[in-house]
A and B are shown apart, each in its own frame.
Chain A
Amino acid sequence: MPDTIPENSVGIVTPEVVHFDEPLELACGRTLSNYQLVIETYGELNGAKSNAILICHALSGHHHAAGYHSADDNKPGWWENHIGPGKPFDTNRFFIVCPNNLGGCHGSTGPNSINPETGKPWGLDFPPLRARDWVQSQAKLADRLGIQQWAAVAGGSLGGMQAMRWALEYPERIRHAIVIASAMKLSAQNIAFNEIARNAIKSDPDFRDGHFLEDNTLPRNGLALARMIGHVTYLSDELMGNKFGRELRSGSFQQGQDTPIEFQVESYLRHQGDAFSSSFDANTYLLMTKALDYFDLAREYDNDPVKAFSHALCDFLVVSFSTDWRFAPERSQEIVKALIDANKTVSYAAIDSNLGHDAFLLPNERYEQILYAYMNRVADEPSCSNKVAASVEASS
């Protein structure tokens, strides 16, 4: 943690656990008899409960989107750049909710939870999930928090997919969808990279067919390798060139020298992989990448995105980043085109950035300006204010 918590941070935050003692029917046909979601909230829900924003996390994200868990915490939540007092997702104006997705490994029910039927960790037997399952569980969470309608649902990457799914599944319960660095479905190349990552995990002898927890092992090498592959797809060629180039960490190419050579980029990737493999669950990684692969916004709408979006009632903000090759600007433009053809309210910004897909997590002046401008609009709407909604309630 920095020496003092910055004024524009939400400060020390404490996650909460929300239990649901009711079954959740999943898209795969199976049912979770009960489940829990670990969440963080920032800001205050107004009396009319009209200022709530749902933040959906991406593949390796979690509920800790902003602030610090303790004074010793060495880094803030993953969207600290955008959530906080005076930031685009302004906690002085909005009540922000960020859950860890079902199937996650940071406290929500997932593969490392205990399967009530066997008394052992679910492991690979945990039901496969789709974005719509997350959206359904988030709707149950909204019910629990007394939120009838989100002022906005926002997310980057896989988070953006959830925001879009929200717009179609619960059109009356969302006023704005903020879809950042996302896509309506994965390309063959995207799926291919995910499959390589999954194979890396499964081929680790410590994976034990997904039951490594029972065997007291962890497929660290496989998970680290999976993360290394994924991480390369999150960065741009330009960024890696600028950051590492062909710099050596050790060894030398001098004639007559035979010391082992290690490039900086190798060391960096290894560090990323190692750090991830000690904080993430291999089965969750498999589950999340599969959910990504399966996601196809328009599948059940005759594969017609216009038909799909015709069900939406909310306004959309779509944002892409120039060097993102995982979900390239063209993927965002497809979303925008479908929204315009469906006569929906949409704005689109194509941000210049050399940071690749990860740009959605990182500071960028123009990105912030766009989010500020849009979120001010959301906050200034009569439907977001406490007074108007309250008076409607009083008159009804």
Chain B
Amino acid sequence: MSIRTDLDIIQQWIAAESRVLDLACGDGALLKNLKHHKQVEGYGLEIDPDKITAAITNGINVVETDLNKGLSQFPDNSFDTVVMTQALQVMRFPHLVLEEMLRIGKECIVTFPNFGNWRARSSLFIHGRMPITKQLTYQWYDTPNIHFCTVKDFEALCDEKNIHVIHKEFVAERIPDKQIKGIWPNLFSDTAIYLLSK
């Protein structure tokens, strides 16, 4: 697959010709796709130099930004959708970033790796060590992922902050997870995708 599955789902939730802010946009693959298929007006924020260069090459509006320093430069409700894919877990304060996203965007899309997946759980249960899986490839002492959460954790945070969950989808690549993820998302999904509003 040329583009991550979660990106396909995200695309369905974004209105054509809307204004999109992509936090930790990487090489701009999502925005490039959205620009092409949905004619969005998109801006990506990124901090990694090589990814910024790649995003410029991809013809994406990329703005070098340290998300941990806040997003006060963006006015309230200045974007239709604020997206952050697979980056919540690397934020210094995920809850504050989420608050900022909801302030800036009318809607927000967040995707994160589900640490509640049975593979992660069993790795911890059986081996008694922090999981290293296909998705979570880092050693605990040297990882950008400093704030893992599970689907349940995330929903608890949404409850606590009165964040409205408009849609959610779960992605699992492998068998049997793929077939049964709907029954018990927190146990079987690799990636959780949420569409949120205030």
Contacts and interface: CB of A to CB of B under 8 A. Distances in A.
A257 to B, nearest CB: 50
B61 interface: yes
Given A333-B73, A340-B43, A370-B56, A345 B78 contact: no
B73 A337 contact: yes
Q: State the 8 A-B residue pairs at the shortest beta-carbon distance, nearest first.
A: A373-B56, A348-B63, A350-B64, A373-B57, A337-B73, A373-B53, A347-B62, A369-B53
A341 B75 contact: yes
Interface string A326-353: 0000000100110011010111111000
13 contacts: A317-B56, A341-B75, A341-B78, A346-B61, A347-B55, A348-B62, A348-B64, A350-B64, A369-B49, A373-B56, A373-B57, A376-B57, A377-B57
Interface string B93-130: 00000000000000000000000000000000000000
Contacts of A345: 61
A377 B56 contact: yes
B64 A349 contact: yes
Contacts of A347: 52, 55-56, 60-63
A347 B53 CA distance: 10
Contacts of B54: 373
Interface in A285-336: 317, 333, 336
A374 interface: yes
A346 B62 CA distance: 7
Contacts of B57: 373, 376-377
Nearest to A345: B61
B169 interface: no
Contacts of B61: 345-347
A345 B56 CA distance: 11
A369 to B, nearest CB: 5
A30 interface: no
Given A340-B74, A348-B64, A377-B59, 16 more contacts: A337-B73, A343-B19, A343-B41, A345-B61, A347-B52, A347-B61, A348-B63, A349-B49, A349-B56, A350-B64, A366-B49, A369-B49, A369-B53, A373-B54, A376-B57, A377-B56
Contacts of A374: 56
Among B43, B59, B62, B63, max chain A CB count under 10 A is at B63
Nearest to B52: A349
Nearest to A381: B59
A369 B54 CA distance: 10
B63 A336 contact: yes
B19 A370 contact: no
Contacts of B19: 343
A370 B52 contact: yes
Contacts of A346: 43, 61, 63
B25 to A, nearest CB: 11
A347 B57 CA distance: 11
A320 to B, nearest CB: 9
A7 B61 CA distance: 33
Contacts of A369: 49, 53
Nearest to A318: B63
A346 B65 CA distance: 13
Nearest to B28: A347
Contacts of A337: 73
A333 B65 CA distance: 10
Among A340, A345, A370, max chain B CB count under 10 A is at A340
Among A317, A343, A348, max chain B CB count under 10 A is at A348
A336 B44 CA distance: 12
B150 to A, nearest CB: 35
Nearest to A376: B57
Nearest to A319: B64
A322 B41 CA distance: 29
A346 B45 CA distance: 11
A340 B82 CA distance: 14
A317 B56 CA distance: 9
Nearest to A332: B64
Contacts of B56: 317, 347, 349, 370, 373-374, 377
